[in-house]
Amino acid sequence: MTGRDAVLVLADGSVFEGETVGYEPADGVASGEVVFNTAMAGYQEILTDPSYAGQVISFTYPHIGNYGVNAEDVESRRPFCRGIVVRELARRPSSWRAREGLDDYLRRHRVPGIAGIDTRRLTRHLRAMGALPGAFGTDEQAVRAAAATAPTTEGIDLVAGVTTEHTYTHGDPEAPFQVVAIDYGIKSTILRHLERSGCFVEVVPASMAAADVLARRPDGVFLSNGPGDPGAVTGAAGTVRELMGRVPIFGICLGHQILGLARGAEKRKLHFGHHGANHPVRHEATGRVEITSQNHNYAVELEGVPGVQRSHVNLNDGVCEGFRVLDAPAFGVQYHPEAGPGPHDATYLFGEFVELMADHR
């Protein structure tokens, strides 16, 4: 696949040469916080994960697009990422499930991309320097200017741009458990896992007040994944604080972080985040190691926070990957237990949520 000559420039001035793929913006420049994802498959699910809002995704796997895209593997209504970076974009898909090539999909959804990048060099640079704002496009002067001014995700409420505007439901209304899912950037696979666990789910906007959530008389509240800075999500921690102790709560990824903030934990931005499908996490109670799917740039610090117990820890860097609230029916994990893409080691957590709801009826 041959596009126009393009350049990727990071905020620190590093330059990477490539060529355009996907959609080309009218001004010729795309920008965002550049992060790398180490998953070897599942690029369609990664692209449509709303957790990537505000970010440019660099794929470490060298061949992207080889099995095309299809309608079944989308995780949200559209991609929310600012763009993608690849070593090589496949010229044609080779899968019986493919309905469209990735390049056509990117064009249709207005997602810019740059190919031909030395993604090994880029990944090593981001590991050393941390996630950096950057820009790419065909006009080098404009790209350099955009890279110098591109914002990070710090302090920006990215959830407001991905959450649902209207409530909707998923599953069987006669299911044993009624769950309200607060949509910070929820994925379709999560809803399917909740349904399989016996839940009828009502998905509500991130801005919904605690009183309106409780008025629905749910058996439990699910706090979804989502993009960016947990401290910047308007009103989220306060809402969860009001819900805590009144209804069982299960939070994942951003939802886990917001649950932590509601409990008094401090947030911190990780050096280059966790983005991939192979992160080892130890379950503290059993010593069992789970291989997990993750996508986040922030974490919460529990040290000194009363009434909580760490339940999971990342074996790569020691970051807290899960905790339980000791005086309320609430728990959270930093990773994506539904996978999509990734291993299914952590799907048992949906069963634990169901048990928690059953115990507190």
Query: Which residue range is the domain that position 21 belongs to?
Result: 5-149
Q: How many alpha carbons lie under 13 Å from residue 97 in its C-beta half-sphere? A: 11
Distance CA 147, CA 135 (A): 5
Determine which one of 253, 256, 283, 320 is catalytic: 253
CATH code of the domain covering residue 163: 3.40.50.880
Q: The tokens of 282 are what?
A: 């130890």
Q: What percent of the chain has pLDDT over 90?
A: 96
The verdict on residue 298 lying in a domain is: yes
Res 51: pLDDT: 96
* Residue from 45, 202, 290, 338 carrying the catalytic annotation: 338
Mean pLDDT of 147-159: 94
133 and 195 inside one domain:
no
154 is catalytic: no
Q: Is 336 a catalytic residue?
A: yes
**Pick from 26, 27, 5: which is nearest to 16 by CA?**
5
Q: Quote the CA–CA distance of 153 and 230 in Å, as a whole number.
A: 10
Establish if 81 belongs to a structural domain.
yes
* CA-wise closest residue to 23 among 103, 139, 135, 116: 103
Indicate the Cα dihedral angle 189, 193, 199, 202, nearest 10°.
-10
Mean pLDDT of 26-35: 94
Question: Residue 118 is inside which H or E element, if any?
Answer: none
Tell me, yes or no, whether 209 and 354 share the same domain.
yes
Which of 149, 172, 202 represents a domain boundary (last residue)? 149
Q: Is 165 a catalytic residue?
A: no
Tens of pLDDT, residues 53-106: 999 999 999 999 999 999 999 999 999 999 999 999 998 999 999 999 999 999
Q: What is the mean pLDDT of residues 289-315?
A: 95
Domains held by the chain: number: 2
Would 182 be classed as within a structural domain?
A: yes
| 143, 281: one domain | no
The answer, yes or no, to whether residue 21 has pLDDT greater than 60, is yes
Beta bridge partners, 306, equal none
For residue 287, tell me if it sits in a domain: yes
Residues 64 and 185 in one domain: no
More confident residue, 8 or 339: 8
110 and 184 housed in the same domain: no
* CA dihedral sign, ordered 300, 306, 308, 313: positive
For residue 154, tell me if it sits in a domain. Answer: no
Identify whether 191 is part of a domain.
Answer: yes
Catalytic residue among 125, 193, 256, 336: 336
From 119, 149, 179, give the residue that closes a domain.
149
CATH number of the structural domain spanning residue 22: 3.50.30.20
d(CA 349, CA 126): 32
Residue 110, in any domain of the structure: yes
Please tell me whether residues 44 and 71 are part of one structural domain.
yes
Same domain flag for 201 and 346: yes
Regarding whether 166 and 141 lie in a shared domain, the answer is: no
What does the block give as tokens for 56? 């440019």
Indicate if 165 and 112 belong to the same structural domain: no
**Where among 131, 149, 167 does a domain terminate?**
149
Q: What pLDDT score was predicted for residue 7?
A: 98
132 Cβ neighbours under 8 A, 6+ residues apart: 10, 11, 12, 33, 34, 126
**Same domain membership, residue 73 and residue 48:** yes
Together in a domain, 175 and 88: no
CB 119 within 8 A of CB 36: yes
Radius of gyration of the CA atoms of the chain, in A: 20
Does position 1 have pLDDT exceeding 60, yes or no?
no
Mean pLDDT of the chain: 96
Least Cα distance to 251 among 327, 329, 175, 188 occurs for 329
Residues 145 and 169 in one domain: no
